[in-house]
Amino acid sequence: MPLKSEIIVQETLERLSVAAAGLLAMRARACVQQKGRFTVALSGGSTPQGMYKVLAQEPFLSEAPWPRVHVWWVDDRCVAPNNPWSNYGAVKRHLLDRVPLPPDQIHPMPAEMIPEQGARQYQDAMMRHFGLKAGEFPAFDLILLGIGTDGHTASLFPGQEGLEEEKRLVIAVTGGDPDVDRLTLTLPVINRARHVVFLVAGKEKAGIVRTVLGPEKTLMPAQRVQPAKGRLTWILDQDAASLISAQ
């Protein structure tokens, strides 16, 4: 692990959710104070949903600087927003519909387009938002990630060509469970973030957490998340962290 990484273990998923919400809100306030806005890329999955629900409640509902927050997505499945598989739809239900976030500061992936076209459109939107030139990459203030039992993160799966992408910001891939078309940020984008946070919960994730956080390099996708100039934080519940001491 890089020297700047940290591991935070919470006793339960509920406490993990509160800790993650507090970190995100604190980071948002600091960025808004420093530069006037906070830009975050969110993930789907069951673990962060608790954090989204906490953020939509007090004290975060009132204290987070929602009018200055810009929300993007790490990845999404190419389905309609009302589909249960939609990462955007899940965040919308649990968070976006409940907080005073300006609609034009919500940037969902164009998941209903032809995947390659959607990837290009999302990349173009990101380049405009960050004021990028060709060949440049954005620096998100915070990127929220999860991890699969196979070591994948975002929609970057073991053995796929997308792991080696070095030029594009967003790519179309197919895989995962369910095995469908997806859009995802690339590793160069993730690794330029100012702060990357993994949220991991559950006994079924304990083995992969031990492997990814272990001393040996396995080149699993999650292990390739190494922010060059940013922080890397893992927030785990006790179940997910249960095998770390057994390394």
- Tens of pLDDT, residue by residue over 59-71, are 999 999 999 999 9
H/E/C letters for each residue in the chain?
A: CCCCEEEEEECCHHHHHHHHHHHHHHHHHHHHHHHCCEEEEECCCCHHHHHHHHHCCCCHHHHCCHHHEEEEECEEECCCCCCCCCHHHHHHHHCHHHCCCCHHHECCCCCCCCHHHHHHHHHHHHHHHHCCCCCCCCCCCEEEECCCCCCCECCECCCCHHHHCCCCCEEEEEECCCCEEEEEECHHHHCCCCEEEEEECCHHHHHHHHHHCCCCCCCCHHHHCCCCCCEEEEEEECCCCCCHHHC
Residue showing tokens 């919470």: 10
Cα–Cα distance for residue pair 211/238, rounded to 1 Å: 16
Q: Give pTM, 2 decimals.
A: 0.95
The range of the structural domain enclosing residue 55 comes to 5-246
Q: Which amino acid is at 220?
A: M
Count of domains observed in the chain: 1
Per-residue pLDDT in tens (0 to 9) along the chain, 247 residues: 444 579 999 999 999 999 999 999 999 999 999 999 999 999 988 999 999 999 999 999 999 999 999 999 999 999 999 999 999 999 999 999 999 999 999 999 999 999 999 999 999 999 999 999 999 999 999 999 999 999 999 999 999 999 999 999 999 999 988 889 999 999 999 999 999 999 999 999 999 999 999 888 778 999 999 998 899 999 999 999 999 964 4
Q: What angle do CA 74, 45, 151 make, to 5 degrees?
A: 75
How would you list the strands of the sheet with 180-185, edge to edge? 75-77, 180-185, 170-175
- Tens of pLDDT, residue by residue over 67-87, are 999 999 999 999 999 999 999
Q: What is the CATH number of the domain that holds 178?
A: 3.40.50.1360
Q: What is the pLDDT of residue 245?
A: 66
